[in-house]
Amino acid sequence: MSKKILVINPGATSTKVAVYEDDRLIFSETIRHSAEEMSEFTHIVDQYDFRKWLLVEAISKAGLAPGDMDAIVGRGGAFKPLVSGTYKVNKAMLKDVEEGNVAAEHASNLGCVLAHGISTEENLPSFIVDPVSVDEFDEVARVSGLPQLERKSLSHALNIKAVGRRAGKELGKPYDKLNLVIVHLGTGISVSAHRQGRMIDVNNANDGGPFSPQRAGSLPTTGLIKLCFSGKYSASELKRMCVGQGGMMAYLHTDDAIDVEKRALAGEEKPLFVMDAMAYQIAKEIGAMAAVLEGKHDAVVITGGIARNVALMNPLMPRIDWLGKVLVYPGEDELGALAAGALRVINGEEKAKVYK
Q: What's the pLDDT at 319? A: 98
* pLDDT tens, position by position, 283-314: 999 999 999 999 999 999 999 999 999 999 99
Specify the 3-state DSSP secondary structure of 324: coil
Domain made up of 4-135+334-346: CATH architecture: 2-Layer Sandwich (3.30)
How many whole angstroms separate alpha carbon 64 and alpha carbon 317? 43
**DSSP class per residue in 189-252:** EEEEEEETTEEEEE--TTTSSS--SSB--S--HHHHHHHHTSSSS-HHHHHHHHBTSSTHHHHH
How many whole angstroms separate alpha carbon 165 and alpha carbon 146? 35
Query: Beta strands of the chain (E only): which ranges?
Result: 4-10, 14-21, 24-32, 71-75, 86-88, 126-129, 179-185, 189-195, 198-202, 299-304, 326-330
Phi, psi angles (nearest 5°) of residue 131:
-65, 170
Whole-model pTM: value is 0.83
Fold entry, domain 157-330: Nucleotidyltransferase; domain 5 (3.30.420)
Q: What's the pLDDT at 84? A: 87
Q: What's the pLDDT at 265? A: 96
Residue boundaries of the structural domains of the chain: 4-135+334-346, 157-330
Q: What's the pLDDT at 145? A: 95
Specify the 3-state DSSP secondary structure of 28: strand
Sequence-separated (6 or more) residues with CB below 8 Å from residue 24 = none
Cβ atoms 204, 243 nearer than 8 A = no
CB count in 10 Å sphere of residue 286: 25
> Do 4-135+334-346 and 157-330 agree at the fold level?
yes
Residues of the chain with confidence (pLDDT) below 70: none
CB count in 10 Å sphere of residue 40: 9
Q: CB-side exposure of 124: number of CA atoms within 13 Å?
A: 25
Cβ atoms 278, 212 nearer than 8 A = yes
CA angle 184/190/191 to nearest 5° reads 90
* pLDDT tens, position by position, 103-149: 888 889 999 999 999 999 999 999 999 998 999 999 999 999 999 99
